Amino acid sequence: MEKVRLKVPATIANLVCGFDILGMAIDEPADDMEIRRLETPEIIIRHTDAFGLPEEPAENVAGIVLLKIMEHLKLKYGFEVIIHKKIKPGSGLGSSAASAAGAVVGANLLLGNILTKEEMVYYAMFGEKLASGARHADNIAPCIYGGITLVKSSDPVDIILLNAPDLWVTAVHPQVEVKTSDAREILKKTIPLKDAIQQWGNIAGLVAGIQNYDHALIRRSLNDVIIEPVRSILIPKFDEIKQKSLHAGALGGGISGSGPSVFMFSEEEKVSHTIAEIMKSAYDSISIESLVYVSRVNPSGIRIIKD
């Protein structure tokens, strides 16, 4: 195989209470990536979008991942990557993780499938480190494994693939800037034990709810007492959207990754579209442009596009 085309999905990290450990792949938006083997030991990155992302390999999240793979595996050849980015950078929908995960999955296919999924997560985390300063795997893991993943540990990499619930996901990306590095910087470095107890109760409840397809338990567990109270201040209309969505029948939801996107789960398609309208009109009312996506949980993650 000399060339591969991939559809690389957006991901929602944290899933409300699981900061840095839970994540989920969704269907839309998704990037298209083409990865080609080069005879020379170099990396070429090209974007067809207008986001102005760096193309110098050491400064590009896909590039840094491929440089690490070339170095560790002592490859005598290189890769060219063409990225058609549709997941907006800075959206909180795993844009950098998509480029990093797509690069490693593409390279692995061109190398004859020599890497395990854990190894692919390991390499892709170099991209996350470049993008946000932190080696977190909660966007990368669901992108590579599909569905919902639990990062039991990122060093060493230990990923648990959970069940994919039969739920709808509505996500809104208001066009305001929230940098992941800033959204991490403002978090408290220590937390009271009573908050920790409540939070790990919610995480355990959410994982049990997902594994047992127990929607009532998922609803009761989608509650974040540590991160959301601090970060939601950065997101206009957050409380209003959440309250109105819950009133309209959402199962629950919160900030997508580090924001500014907000997501909501619902059991029925009709409710997911009502929530899309609630989100859109909330931002219209304050003249903030927004993009809204209605998706299913994506059980397969990155897909190969056949020509």
CA distance 124 to 54: 17
* CB-based contacts of 287, cutoff 8 Å, min separation 6: none
User: Binding to ligand HSE by residue 120, rule CB under 6 A?
Assistant: no
Residue closer to ligand HSE by CB (options 222, 271) is: 222
User: Binding to ligand HSE by residue 138, rule CB under 6 A?
Assistant: yes
* CB-based contacts of 50, cutoff 8 Å, min separation 6: none
Closest distance of CB 122 from ligand HSE, Å? 17
Near ligand HSE in 234-273, by CB under 6 A: 257-258
What is the identity of the amino acid at 259?
G
Catalytic positions: 128, 180
CA distance 218 to 208: 8
Among 7, 47, 85, 136, binds ligand HSE (CB under 6 A): 136
Near ligand HSE in 57-116, by CB under 6 A: 92
Closest distance of CB 307 from ligand HSE, Å? 32
Query: Are the C-beta atoms of residues 94 and 139 closer than 8 Å to each other?
Result: yes
Torsion over CA: 105, 68, 129, 173 (sign):
negative
Near ligand HSE in 4-33, by CB under 6 A: 13-14, 19-20
Closest distance of CB 236 from ligand HSE, Å? 18
Among 149, 154, 180, 298, binds ligand HSE (CB under 6 A): 180
Torsion over CA: 106, 168, 246, 18 (sign):
negative
Q: Where on the chain is the footprint of ligand HSE (CB under 6 A)?
A: 13-14, 19-20, 92, 136, 138-139, 180, 183-184, 257-258
